[in-house]
A = this chain, B = another copy of it.
Amino acid sequence: MTDGWANSGLDLHLAIDPRRKTASLEDAVRAAIRDGRLPAGTRLPASRSLARDLGIARNSVAEAYSRLVAEGWLEARVGSGTSVADRSFLPVAEAAPQAERALRLDLRGGIPDVSGFPRTAWAAAVRTALAQAPGAALGYQDLRGAQRAREALAGYLARAMGVWASPDDLVIAPGFGGVLRLVALALVARGARRIAIEEYGHALHREILSDAGLQPVPLPVDGEGAVVDLLDDLDVDGALLTPAHQFPTGVALSAARRTAVVRWCERTGAIVIEDDYDGEFRFDRRAIGALQALAPQQVVYAGTASKALAPAIGLGWGVLPRELMVPVLEQRRLAGAATGAIAELALALFIETGGYDRTVRSSRLRYRARREHVDGVLRQRMPDARLTGMAAGLQSLLELPDGVDEVEVSARAAALGLRIEGLRSYRADAVGAPSAGRRSATFVSHRPAMVVGFGAPPESRFEESVAAMIAAIGAAR
Residues of A at under 8 Å CB distance from B? Answer: 23, 26-27, 30-31, 34, 67, 70-73, 87, 89-91, 93-94, 96-97, 111-112, 114-115, 117, 119-120, 122-123, 126-127, 130-131, 133, 135, 137-141, 155, 158-160, 162, 164-168, 173-181, 204-205, 207-208, 211, 289, 293, 296, 306, 310-315, 333-343, 352-354, 357, 361, 458
Closest to A185 in B: B211
Q: In the complex, are the beta carbons of B341 and A164 less than 8 A apart?
A: no
Q: In the complex, are the beta carbons of B181 and A337 less than 8 A apart?
A: yes
A17 to chain B, nearest CB (A): 12
**Complex CA distance for A181 and B458, rounded to whole angstroms:** 36
A186 to chain B, nearest CB (A): 13
| 16 CB-based A-B contacts, threshold 8 Å | A23-B354, A27-B354, A70-B357, A71-B160, A72-B160, A111-B140, A122-B130, A138-B310, A139-B311, A173-B337, A174-B338, A211-B334, A311-B341, A312-B340, A314-B341, A340-B343
Identical subunits present: 2
Closest to A211 in B: B334
Q: In the complex, are the beta carbons of B89 and A177 less than 8 A apart?
A: no
Q: In the complex, are the beta carbons of B353 and A340 less than 8 A apart?
A: no
**CB < 8 Å neighbour of A115 from B135, B334, B342:** B135
Q: In the complex, are the beta carbons of A159 and B87 less than 8 A apart?
A: yes
Most buried by B among A72, A122, A306: A72
A23 contact set on B, CB distance < 8 A: 353-354
Across the A-B interface, give the 5 residue pairs with the lowest CB-CB distance, nearest first. A177-B336, A314-B340, A178-B337, A174-B337, A312-B341
Closest to A159 in B: B72
A184 to chain B, nearest CB (A): 9
A94 to chain B, nearest CB (A): 6
Q: In the complex, are the beta carbons of B119 and A166 less than 8 A apart?
A: no
**CB < 8 Å neighbour of A91 from B111, B122, B166, B310:** B166
A338 to chain B, nearest CB (A): 7
**Complex CA distance for A409 and B111, rounded to whole angstroms:** 57
**CB < 8 Å neighbour of A208 from B30, B177, B336:** B336
**CB < 8 Å neighbour of A311 from B96, B130, B131, B140:** B140
A180 contact set on B, CB distance < 8 A: 336
A235 to chain B, nearest CB (A): 25
